[in-house]
Chains A and B, each alone.
Chain A
Amino acid sequence: MARKEIEHIERHPKVVLLCNKVEELSGVSDIISSQVSAFRVLTKMHDIKEVLLESAPLVIIIAMPSVSASIELYRQLAQLGFLDYPHENILLCENKESGVGFRCCMKHVFSDYFVYKPMYENYRLRMILHNALLRCKNAHDTTHIREEHFGKIDESLKQLIDDAAVYHVDAQQTLTNARKNLEQAKGVNDIQTALMKELRAQHIDPLLDQLEKKLAMSIEELTNNLKNKQITLAELSALLIEKSLPETTRSATEYAAEDPSDKVIALTNRNIKIMVVEDNEIYREMISKILIDEGHNVEAVSSGLVAIKKLKKQKYDMIFMDLFMPELDGYNTTRNIRNINHCKNLPIVALTSNKNKELIRKWATLGLTAYIAKPSTKHSILKTVEKAKRALAS
C-alpha cells in the first residue's frame, strides 16, 4: 500500500491542520486544500508556534491520535499565549470518540467536530470548513467553493436549489425595501407622524423581524431538504428492501398489464452480469469462481475507483462489494455508484467481516440488497444472487 505524501506548505495559511500522523489525513487534507488554497499541515511544535505567531490562522483544525491529545495540544498553545486572537477551532476525531467530540463542542471547547476515521464524509467536512470561514471576519476570499465541489447533482435539483437561493435574496430585498418605505413615510401632521412612528416601533418592526427570521429559516430548511433529497431516496429504498415492501414507483395499471410472475421467472432463470469489488485477490477469486461455476458473467475488480469507471461504461445486474478497501471504501464507492444514472437501483451486496454495525447501517442507507459476513458459504452467496434477481424483477 503506497504511502501518500502531503505537501501543503502555504507560508501564511488561513487554515491549519495540526496533527502528528500526516499519512492518515491525506484524504482530509486534499479536501481542505481543494477548498482553501491558504492551507498548511503542521506536525512539529516549532512550526505550529511560528505559524500561529506569524499568520494567526482563522481556522485551526486539530487531529491528534485521541481527543484528549487534541485538547491537551490546544490547551498548551492557549496557555503559551499563541491563541490570543479570534479564531475557529475544529476537532477531527475517530468514530469511537465522536461522543467526546460532541461533548467538547457542547462545552464550547471546539467550534465543531468531524469524524474522519474509519470513514469520512467529504461534503460534511466542506460544510464545516465553509461555515467556520464564514463565521470569521474577512475570510470570504479564502474559501473557493466551485461547481465541481458539489459532486454530481441532478440538473433539475440543482436548478431548484439555485431558484430557492434567488427567492431568498429577492424576498429579503422586498422586506428591506418595505422597512425603508416605512421609515420615510410621514403623516399629514406631527401627531399622525408620531402615531405612525409608535405603530412602527411597537407592531410593524417586530413583525418584519419575525418575518425575516422565519423566511431565513424556511429557505435554509428547504435548501437543505433539496440537497439531501437524493440521500433520502436512497434511505427510503434501503428501508423498502429491508422491510420487504413492494416498490411503489410503477403505476397500478402497469402491474395489471403484465403478469409479474412471468418477469420473476424469466429473471431467476437467466444468468446475470455480476461485478465483484474486493481488494483481497484470493477472496475475490473465490467469490468469482462460485459465481462463474453457476454460469454467471463475472467481472472482478480490486478497487472502488476501478468499479466506478467500469460502471460508467457498462451495465451490470448486481455487485458484490467489500467494505474496507484502500483509496475508496465500500460506502463511498456506493455513494458514487448511486450517482450514475443506470445504477440508482442496482442491487449491491456488502461483503464484510467488520463487526461495526454502525458502519453497515450507514452503508445500508444507500440501498444495500443484503450483507454477507466473510467468509460465508457458497449456499449463502448464491441465495443472495437469487434475492438480487428478485429485487431486479420487482
Chain B
Amino acid sequence: MDSQMMTGNLAAAWGARLADVDYIPAFPITPQTEIVEALAKWCARGEVAARFVSMDSEHSMMTAAGAAEVAGARVFTATSSQGLLHAFEVLYSISGWRAPLVLVNVSRALAAPITLESDHNDVLAARDAGFLQIHAETCQEVLDSILMAYRIAEDERIMLPVIVNLDGFTLSFTREPVSLPDPEMVRRFLPPFRPSHLGFTASSAQALGVAVIGGTSYAYFRHQVHLAARNALEVHGEAAESFHALFGRRYDLVEGYRLEDADDVLVMTNAGASKGKAAVDAARTQGKRVGLLRLRVIRPWPAEAIRQALRGRRGVAVLDQNLAPGQGGILYQEVAACLYHEPARPRALCSFIGGLGGQNLSAGEFHAIVEQTAEAGVAGSGLGPVLLYSAEEHREMTQLQMLAGGHA
C-alpha cells in the first residue's frame, strides 16, 4: 500500500474522513486546530459529506456533538487541553446519553502556567467521564484507532463515546508515513451508523438525559455505563481481529516491546513510548534485559493484559507523563492497583514523573530509570514518585530565575 507523509493531526482528520462522518462541530485550539482546518476545507469542497459548524466554545461544541449523535448522526470532533476541560461537564452527559461519538484529544499540558506542549493531565482528567480512551503512539495508529473507535463505540454492547489521544507537537506536528486505508475496505470494517434506539423523530419520541430522583435510578444508569465500558475489552479484541484481517495492522489493548525475556519493564503511553523503545534498545546493547509495555487502551482499564505482561518481572517502572499533585503519577496508581492480587507481582514497582509540558526525556534520564528500577527490583522495594529534572534543566531554570529577578 502507498504511504503518504502526514502529521498526526492530518492523520486524525483522515480518520474522520474515512469514517464518513455526518457532523463536525468545531472550535480551534492549539495544537489541535490543524485537524478541524483540514476537515473544514474538505467539507467546503464536498470531499467529506458532513456538516461542519464553527461553535462558540468547546462546551457548546461538545454539547452539539453529543446532541447530534443521539439524534442519529455519526459525529466527530477534536480538542486539546483547556478545551477538554472547558467541556468537562458535557463529557459526563455524553456518556450518560450513551452517544457513541469519537473525540480526538491532542494532549497539551494544563494552565497554569499556560503552555502549549504536551503532557497527559488533560486526557487523564477525563478518565472517569465514561468515555473509552485509546492513546496512540504513531500517526498511522491515530488514523487506525479512529476507525476502530467508531466500530467499538457504535457496537450495541457498548454505545459509549471514545477519546482517541495523541501527543501535541511530538505527534500532532510530526510527519510520518501513513498508509491510507481503501475507503471500500473501511466500509466493510465500519458499516454505516444505523442506531436502533437513538433519534428524535415525529413518529418516535424519546426523552433523554432526564432527571432521576434518588440513588436507585442514578446508580442503575451509571452501572450500565461501567458494564458497557467493560464490554469493550472483548469488543476491542473483535475489532482488532477484523482490522488486522482487512488492513494487516494489529492493535491490542496493550503493546509489549522486547518483553519476552525482560527482567525489568518500563510502562509508558503515547508517543513518548517511542523514546522508551529507543532506550530499551540502548539498554539491550549493554546486555540489560529490559522491555517496554505500552498502555494503549486506558479505558476500559486492561487489568488482565497488564497483569499478564508484568507477572514475574523483577522491577517495573511506570513513567507517568502527568502529575497528580500530592499523589504522584496517575497511571502508577492504576497499575499498582491491578497488581495487588497477582501472586507473582513484580518485586518492585517504581514511579517516575517526566515529560511534563513537553519537558525533554533525555537518554541519560532513561539510563538512570533503567538502572534504578533494576536496583529496586533486586532490593525488592519500590521507588518514587521520582520527579525527573536533569542537572541541565536545573541550570537553565536557575538562569531564567535570575532573569526574572532582574539579576542577570
> Do these two chains really belong together in a complex?
no
* B interface with A by C-beta (< 8 Å): none
* A interface with B by C-beta (< 8 Å): none
